[in-house]
Structure 1
Amino acid sequence: MSENNGNIEVVHNEGQKRYVISVDGTPAGFSSYVDGTDFRNFNHTVIKPEFRGQGLSAPLIKFAFDDSRAAGIRIHDACSAVAAFIKKNPEYQDLKK
């Protein structure tokens, strides 16, 4: 699954167990996870320094959550960026494990 919003694209790299956000074709960051028995543990989100301050973590995490929801997978928020996103976006509370 992928989403392209103008110059921003988010893709799910299942082999590396991460969601990757790119700007104008250049990888700008990722959110990685570990699969549990019935959930996906998001444990690390990184936006490269040269792309910080552009609001990229929100569309990255939103896409990862929407993709997980579509697959029927609940999430665990071990990553502080993921936990903060859930606090700001209560519509994703139902995904929490």
Structure 2
Amino acid sequence: MTTDELTTDGSGARVEHEPEVSRYTLWQDGEPVGLADYRIVGEELRFTHTEVDPARRDHGLASILVEQALDDVRTRTDFTVVADCPFVADWIDSHAEYQDLLSRGR
């Protein structure tokens, strides 16, 4: 399996891209604690589901996961992002600097 480590920050969290399973995975303390699944449909990358281990919620980990996944999409692809996942949609709505991903390529 090919993975690309995207980030490590002060929380000890890191995000890895696993393109073979269309997923970004969030790791902390050597354990997977979250994921963001996506599907590629034509020129769109559609985020379909995001989750973080309930025991690790309320620490901003889901935001780290989404931000790093979107940064990766921006730098490595020309895909238009479609936020089918409500968390991703809300996150983009509250971060104006990412809203261009919703319309690029159109």
TM-score, normalized by the shorter chain, greater than 0.5: yes
Q: Give the C-alpha shift of residue 24 in structure 1.
A: 1.1
In the alignment, is residue 67 of structure 1 matched against residue 84 of structure 2?
Answer: no
| Structure 2 residue identity aligned to 1:25 | G
**Larger Rg computed on CA atoms:** 2
| Structure 2 residue identity aligned to 1:26 | E
Of 42, 45, 50, the match for 1:40: 45
Q: Give the C-alpha shift of residue 13 in structure 1.
A: 0.7
Question: TM-score under structure 1 normalisation?
Answer: 0.94
Of 5, 11, 28, the match for 2:9: 5
2:57 corresponds in structure 1 to: 52
Q: Deviations over 1:45-71 (max 9, x none)?
A: 010111111111111001111111112
Unpaired runs of at least 5, structure 1: none
- What is the DSSP-based 3-state SS (H/G/I as helix, E as strand, rest coil) of the residue aligned with 1:92? helix
Unpaired runs of at least 5, structure 2: none
Q: How many residues align?
A: 97
Question: TM-score under structure 2 normalisation?
Answer: 0.86
In the alignment, is residue 92 of structure 1 matched against residue 98 of structure 2?
Answer: yes
> Segments of 4+ in structure 1 off by > 6 A?
none
What percentage of residue pairs aligned between the two structures are identical?
32
